[in-house]
Amino acid sequence: MWAPNELSEIIVVFCKIWTFFDLPVYKLETTNAKKRFKNKPAFYYFTVLSMLLLGVVFYLIFFPQENSLNYYSLLLQYFIIYGQSIGTVIYSQMKRKDFEDIFNDLLLMEEKIHEFGQTNTNYHTLGKQIVACVVLQSVLVLLATAFDVYLNMDSGPYRMYISGYYLGVLTSYHFGFFLLVMPVIIVKLFNDFISSIKEQTTEYIVEIYLDLFKLAKRIFQTLQGFILLKITTTFTTTTMDLFHCSYSLEIIEIPFVVGLIMVIGNVLLTMTTLLLDFAMFFYYHLILEKKKILSDIVKKNETNFYKNKKVDLVYLQLHQKPTTFMVCGLFPMNCSLGFSMIAGITTYVIYLVQFTPKSDIMF
């Protein structure tokens, strides 16, 4: 099992994956015993963009057009997936300098926390979690592809649709892991920082905290466009998948095995994708909660009567309501967003099932 000892080892893995997909390329360089990431010019994204655009053209030319809800819902799913993939490629190239700065600032913050606590940390647990998550999601994508092909063995156009659809999924789903791992890394740095607080002065503690929280805010501001794209895609595809599955099971008499395969292929992968998004919401929520934990530590750290007034001011500043991460100014990035998504998905699925004529769905 992969057991990284330093933060740079985790970032290097993502950079290697990006080399073969559509995102900017970064190399780890060591100068005067200091590690830094540097963006390298690459043109892989032209190839991937061309493949994605060909996939869109392929769908428009070869997939049979119908005036039915089935056709329009498949069209929506197909284009939302490809829109996410193409948007990720283009936007990541626009943000390649910001990514370079973020990677280097993460390494610098790791070094600061090590100096602060005079301890060495490792990322073994985080490495195992990343590997498990990637393996699980990859297996589910492959299973969903196999199940969909099996259910549409007699339909050539649908097999072509499935091939193109999952090509779009595979070219972008790795970036979803990156969106999740970034807040996980920040929470890990917060935990290392808080656990290393011993006899340091309040000024030093607050200085490190402010640097770490500013880094968290900058990471979120850089990624919020990608997060909005990811949430929109997850919401749309989950709604359509659950609608197709529930409606087909309701109106069509199908064998039990086929129904079970349909449920596994649609629901299990959909639920896993939702859980990844919910985990991302949860970790951003944890970042804000660290502020309250730190305020209590600061309050207990200084006992000198002369410094009580200053400590009280720091305590009040940290203990006030945490700043909310707002996704492009539209909605807060916290656990309540997950419940809102569930409520919205459920509502739209009920509407679609209730008001769709049976003749409009042809599987």
Judge whether 284 lies within some domain.
yes
In sequence order, the β-bridge partners of residue 31 are: 34
Residue 25, phi then psi, degrees to nearest 5:
-105, 135
Confidence (pLDDT) at 155: 62
Judge whether 2 lies within some domain.
no
- Please count the other Cβ atoms lying within 10 Å of the Cβ belonging to residue 270: 21
Judge whether 1 lies within some domain.
no
Confidence (pLDDT) at 72: 79
Rg (CA), the chain: 24
Confidence (pLDDT) at 306: 41
Judge whether 187 lies within some domain.
yes
Query: 228, 330 in Cβ contact below 8 A?
Result: yes
Could you give the number of structural domains in the chain?
1
Per-residue pLDDT of the chain (363 residues; tens, 9 = 90+): 566 777 888 888 777 776 666 677 788 888 777 888 888 776 666 777 777 788 788 777 777 777 777 777 778 888 888 888 888 888 888 888 888 888 889 888 888 888 887 777 777 777 777 777 777 777 777 777 777 766 666 666 677 777 777 777 777 767 777 888 889 889 888 888 888 877 777 777 778 888 888 899 899 989 898 889 889 888 988 888 888 777 666 655 566 666 666 666 667 777 778 888 888 899 988 888 877 777 666 666 555 434 444 555 555 555 555 567 888 888 888 888 888 888 998 898 888 877 776 555 544
DSSP 4-38: -SSHHHHHHHHHHHHHHTTS-EEEEEEETTEEEEE
Judge whether 132 lies within some domain.
yes
**Residue position matching structure tokens 């789903």:** 173
> Which structural domain range is residue 23 located in?
7-360
Task: Tell which residue, 298, 318, 317, has the closest CA to residue 308.
Answer: 298
